[in-house]
Structure 1
Amino acid sequence: MEIGSQIEGCYRNTSLGMPCRQGSVPPLGIDARTVEDIQAGVKFAADYNLRLVVKNTGHDLARSTGRDGFMIWTHNMKGIVIHDKLTPAGAPVTEFHEQAVTVAAGVQWHEVYSKLDDVKRMMVGGVTNGGSVGAAGVDNVLEFAVVLSNGEHVTANAQQHPDLFWALRGGGGATFGVATSVTYRMYPTVVAVLLEVAVDPSYPNQALKSSIEECIRISPTLTDMG
């Protein structure tokens, strides 16, 4: 088999017994460990007109892969900073949030939860960039640190770059930059919280529909209440 065909193997519909080679994983990338690494990667991709792919663990299959692209791998960008009191960038000193945590791009959720458990705190995360499952995840973001397509490293929050802050929380597509860290609200640990809704759409039910609509309606209020 020629090298080119090896690289192009492993489509999603490949049979189970066939060898899996490069597939849609970019053949070239950078092991980013600092903001400067990401800036260099963004510039390199722009200079050579390469499709840019950002990956931590690869959980987001559709956007963490890209055939013949250039990957910025953030998995080794570790760092968790707990703030007892945080004033967002650009905000007056009189505006602050108690209990916040800043999470670097390569940190996984089990690492965050373990760290917060040590200080008896909790947070709501999830699929943050581009919107979460429900309102709770994005509504708890205080600010993003982002490398833009021109290589500039900015902080996006309600005071600085508010349009970008809006977009990164689900107001648009996921092509605005590479997040280097995200800062979230924290809360005192509670024993247990569980909300589960199972819906069978094959059985139309107006009462069920109304109940779900009400849950969605009050979700922002519940989030504000912590």
Structure 2
Amino acid sequence: MRALFTNSFTVAFAATVVTLSPVAAQAQVGHLPAASPYEDFKIGQSLSVLGGWLAVKRDLADVAPKASWTAGLRYEIGVGGPASLFARYMASPSERRLLVPTNPKATRQIGTPGATTHLMDAGLDISLTGRKTWRQLMPSVSGGAGLVSDFAAADTGGYRFGTKFAFNYGFSLRYLPRRGPQVRIDATNFLWQYQYPDRYFVRAADTTAILTDTRNREAWRGNWSLSAGVIVPLFR
């Protein structure tokens, strides 16, 4: 399952880059240098300070951390041509439902403790306008992998979000003026897998269970993040 998912993601990402890059390149033809909307831009090193919203999709048992605001840092370094490598850390403080599987449905939820989702990933970013900006804008696509965790132990009901692999793909738009602050907007889809303990499938005294289909013991979910922030160039 994981291998199939990874291969599908790789093919889709590569197809997007191959499809969009020629369009950006062809658009540069037909302008005199002085009147061209394109300007050369060196993709060096930068640090972005970001804030936004992590729209966590409801999991099957509705026990994982909820959607919430998020903040983080993104380091990026050019590696040649339109490509750059990035490393990112984001944190999203939220809350989750605490369930006791052996309780009847009416009294199954016993609290909503706080929970913070930590995202740590790295990947490749490719500019769709090459090493140039278009009217001081640089759109790009990206993909990567990393870890997601709440750094918490299993709760009284046996559920543990834990630390797991997460894959991602996304799109960004950077505003890169010659002078003044540089800004970026990112939309990223983080995909990770939920796993549930056996007791979530055991019926309580009222004959109900948190989950009834054992095929749902493991389930992938995509979780979109929309963030914006300021880019700080480094070593220029």
TM-score (norm 1): 0.25
Higher strand share: 2
Higher helix share: 1
